[in-house]
């Protein structure tokens, strides 16, 4: 009997139509297009003006299932990786399942900031590989505009809304999920977090007045940590699987900052033409960046292609996943 692996059999992405350009931000905070572009690589980001994270998730799920030609009732499990859930509870995964009619699925949210999608992909793969389930959906999606302070020029230039999803199914050809190296260090929480709204600091008039329900980031510290760790785990997962840059078809990095992407590619020895980059059009969609890349590059992917997915997020969380494309 062949060993079962968890393969991606469908991918779909979505970003809202409304754009927030660097020129728009020039009118809102003390910044300019040249400064933003040179430091982040971002020209514009998408903004969801109406609806919740789950509403984007519904569009993504419907597109994903239609491409694969299956019904919502066939889905076993939905893992929604998000930093902007509809509610503290219930889980956004369950809200999405209800809205699309996935009556036979159970689901939960996974919170790991920008690393959430690769955490979720690794987790979902286990349910397939053990033979427990046949169809698992991993959604990476965020409405970051709901937690961004558009008076804070350090963060409002970076983030956007959108995301994507993949369908995992059993594969007996050795394709799909191969390996992952995942890490976290809670000591980094003070540098990238939302200060209020949780049990440590519940919402109050004071927390609202102090604008503590928005993303706070100490940029230099986060940048330094991200450059080192995202790059090192990507290189480590390649070395552990005896892969050279020549063996890699695509590096799929989290779209946080163009300089972090470049540093990761350099550490792995992967040339720019084999690195997926769309940060200039979407900004950092947190959990949404990697599935958005897979969706946009899908037509260029070939069966058997080696892909390295790498991410870094608040908390701190980081890691890399090695997959073989299955179609």
Q: Give me the residues paired with residue 194 across strands.
A: 215
Identify the burial level of 233 via C-beta atoms within 10 angstroms of its C-beta, where 0-12 means exposed, 13-18 middle and 19 or more buried.
Answer: buried
Q: Are 137 and 78 in contact (CB under 8 A)?
A: yes
Report, as residue numbers or ranges, the catalytic residues: 114, 254, 284
Kindly state the DSSP code that residue 27 receives in the 8-state scheme: T
Beta strands 250-253 and 306-313, pairing class: parallel
163: helix, strand or coil? strand
Cβ neighbors of 188 (< 8 A, separation 6 or more) are: 222, 225, 314, 315, 316
- Residue among 199, 263, 200, 208 nearest 230 (CA): 263
Buried b (16+ CB within 10 A) or exposed e, 273-303: ebbbbbbebbbbbbbbbbbbbbbbbbeebee
- Residue among 118, 129, 91, 125 nearest 252 (CA): 118
Q: Are 112 and 123 in contact (CB under 8 A)?
A: no
Residue 228 CB: number of other CB atoms within 10 A?
15
Cβ neighbors of 326 (< 8 A, separation 6 or more) are: 7, 8, 9, 171, 173, 175, 176, 303
CA distance 290 to 140: 8
CA distance 304 to 141: 27
Residue 316 CB: number of other CB atoms within 10 A?
24
Q: Are 255 and 279 in contact (CB under 8 A)?
A: yes
């Amino acid at each position: 009997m062949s060993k079962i692996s968890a393969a991606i059999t469908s991918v779909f992405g979505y970003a809202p139509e409304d754009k927030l350009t660097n020129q728009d931000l020039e009118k809102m905070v003390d910044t300019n297009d040249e400064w933003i572009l040179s430091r982040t690589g971002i020209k514009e980001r998408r903004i969801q003006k109406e609806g919740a994270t789950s509403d984007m998730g519904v569009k993504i799920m419907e597109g994903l299932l239609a491409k694969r030609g299956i019904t919502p009732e066939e889905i076993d499990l939905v893992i929604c990786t998000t930093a902007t859930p509809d509610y503290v509870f219930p889980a956004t995964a369950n809200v999405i399942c209800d809205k699309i009619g996935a009556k036979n699925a159970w689901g939960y949210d996974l919170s790991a900031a920008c690393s959430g999608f690769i955490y979720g992909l690794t987790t979902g793969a286990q349910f397939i590989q053990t033979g427990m389930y046949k169809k698992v959906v991993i959604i990476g999606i965020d409405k970051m505009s709901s937690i961004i302070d558009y008076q804070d020029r350090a963060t409002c230039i970076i983030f956007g809304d959108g995301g994507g999803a993949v369908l995992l199914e059993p594969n007996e050809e050795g394709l799909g999920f191969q390996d992952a190296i995942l890490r976290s260090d809670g000591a980094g929480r003070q540098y990238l977090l939302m200060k209020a709204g949780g049990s440590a600091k519940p919402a109050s008039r004071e927390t609202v007045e102090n604008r503590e329900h928005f993303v706070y980031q100490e940029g230099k510290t986060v940048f330094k940590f991200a450059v080192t760790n995202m790059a090192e785990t990507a290189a480590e997962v390649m070395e552990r699987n005896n892969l050279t840059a020549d063996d890699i078809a695509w590096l799929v990095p989290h779209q946080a900052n163009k300089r972090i992407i470049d540093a990761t590619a350099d550490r792995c020895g992967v040339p720019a033409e084999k690195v997926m980059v769309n940060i200039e059009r979407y900004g950092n969609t947190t959990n949404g960046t990697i599935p958005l890349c897979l969706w946009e590059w899908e037509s260029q992917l070939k069966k058997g292609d080696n892909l390295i997915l790498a991410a870094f997020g608040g908390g701190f969380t980081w890691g890399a996943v090695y997959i073989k494309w299955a179609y």
